[in-house]
Structure 1
């Protein structure tokens, strides 16, 4: 009971809720991210005249080294960010269905709600609209607002804090990638890692996955975002 009270007290002091987009606000087994991933591979093939396997290997090299494939292409090849983002996010979102329970859970959270994504604003908006949660958020901080420096870079979070007047001590961040929670935790945010439910497909890269023992920069791990948010609002210990 004492621990439950401490958890309730912790979230009672929070009134800024920050959400990653891809594989966080929609289910891990959605086909959305694989579609974007395939579009990036195709972009690389067109750009360099490579076969699919070579393009994908280069794509993943840039992704792991720079945080996004786009950043690697900008650093090493000076490509147009706008062209890349338009191409990568030109996908069919009809597989996404409105998530009314998630919308209600987000709406019930007290205070401000923001999206912080390494994708584009247009992609975030269209995806949120497909999920029926776009009206729940005050704003979207995208890769353009980050000056094309992706999470987990510290300067990206500082730009986000400054632009939106976010006090980390009053904030909670939800993410599917553990490395993207290191800086938020260090700055005083409460951090929650959103992972696939048991048996769900996991589209994260091998180096992005964490063991069962949570790193110290992750305060909570949940496989059910809606239930987690409902428990926060109810003042109960969030369900894993």
Structure 2
């Protein structure tokens, strides 16, 4: 880690690189859940609850058993969907429709984020392990739908989730973007390993108020995330700072 720098509207920024690293980026790739909206919106908690209900109903389990089994599937297969398809041959469309039957009114429109995304030079994409309808409803609730070239969802990925390398290859093949001229924003560090290896500039989105925990682990463990170029708890503020740095 080479130091910390104060950024406009962002506060102390834990990173290894200068924001000018974003110069030349022509494709901006955003994860969806807990990335384009903040963790504290708690939308993904609703999705997790729906997944547990699906597992509970499918396997006739109690709530706690269903939650535990869901976590086991997630850790073994990358997504609960992938796990249930492998172990119980479920209908993915039925699953995706069920787990995304949630209340999007908890999301507030974010015109500042929309303006920052719109001002980024080049094309913008949503790349999610969720499905397209969920991404479309989420983007609409945030008021940012018009700023994206396309959505690459779990169906586009043939139901193989990030962080599998083949999924990133499919994304690059479908969009035609050059990794060396791309930046990716994610809330899960494990999903940034492949983008970083491919040459993308990577940014990890962390929950508000958790920076000190992240920085302590970074310092104590000697930079445990070499595949993460930047870290922020405020995507909007960070994008504004990036725009300022790249002119």
> 1:115 aligned to 117, 126, 140, which one?
126
The residue aligned with 1:204 is: none
* 5+ residue gaps, structure 2: 6-16
Question: How many Å separate the matches in 2 of 1:54 and 1:223?
Answer: 33
Contact 1:67/1:150, CA 8 A, preserved across alignment: yes
CA offset at residue 13 of structure 1?
1.0
- In the TM superposition, residue 10 of structure 1 has moved relative to its aligned partner by 2.2
Q: Does 1:211 align with 2:221?
A: no
Say which SS state the counterpart of residue 172 (structure 1) adopts: strand
Please say if residues 15 and 111 of structure 1, whose CA atoms lie closer than 8 Å, have aligned partners that are also in contact: yes
Per the normalisation by structure 1, the TM-score is: 0.90
> In structure 1, the residue corresponding to 2:227 is in which secondary structure?
coil
Q: How many residues align?
A: 226
Determine if the alignment matches structure 1 residue 58 to structure 2 residue 60. no
Find out whether 1:16 has 2:22 as its counterpart. no
CA separation in 1, counterparts of 2:85 and 2:122?
A: 37
Alignment of 1:120-139 (within 5 A): 120-139=131-150
Quickly say closer, same or farther: Cα 1:185–1:196, change in 2 above 3 A: same
Mapped to 2, the partners of 1:96 and 1:177 lie a distance apart of 20
Structure 2 CA distance, aligned partners of 1:161 and 1:137?
16
Aligned residue in 2 for 1:225: 235
Whole-angstrom distance in 1 between the partners of 2:55 and 2:245: 48
Query: How far is 1:76 from its partner?
Result: 1.0
Tell me the distance in 1 between the aligned counterparts of 2:65 and 2:167: 30
Give the SS at the match of 1:94.
Answer: helix
- In the alignment, the residues of structure 2 paired with residue 215 and residue 106 of structure 1 have an alpha-carbon distance, to the nearest angstrom, of 26
Residue aligned with 1:235, SS: helix
Distance in 2 (alpha carbons) for counterparts of 1:56 and 1:120:
22
The 2-side partners of 1:87 and 1:35 are apart by 11
Q: What is the rounded CA distance, in whole Å, between the counterparts of 1:9 and 1:57 in structure 2? A: 44
Report the Cα offset of residue 8 of structure 1.
Answer: 4.9
Equivalent residue, structure 2, for 1:35: 46
> What RMSD in Å do the two structures reach over aligned CA positions?
2.1
CA distance in structure 1 between the partners assigned to 2:60 and 2:102 by the alignment = 22
Q: Write the distance in 1 (CA, Å) between the matches of 2:228 and 2:207.
A: 16
The secondary structure found in structure 1 opposite 2:76 is: helix
Structure 1 match to 2:181: 170
Give 1:67's aligned residue.
78
**Match 2:112 to one of 101, 109, 113:** 101
- Greater CA drift, 7-16 or 105-114: 7-16
Q: Per-residue deviation at 1:236?
A: 6.6
* TM-score normalised by structure 2 residue count: 0.87
Partner Cα separation in structure 1 for residue 19 and residue 42 of structure 2? 35
Cα offsets for 1:120-140 (capped at 9, x unmatched): 000000000000001110100
The Cα shift of 1:19 comes to 0.1
Query: Are 1:140 and 2:156 counterparts?
Result: no
Are positions 1:155 and 2:166 aligned together?
A: yes
What is the rounded CA distance, in whole Å, between the counterparts of 2:84 and 2:19 in structure 1? 45
Stretches of structure 1 lacking an aligned partner (at least 5 in a row): 201-209
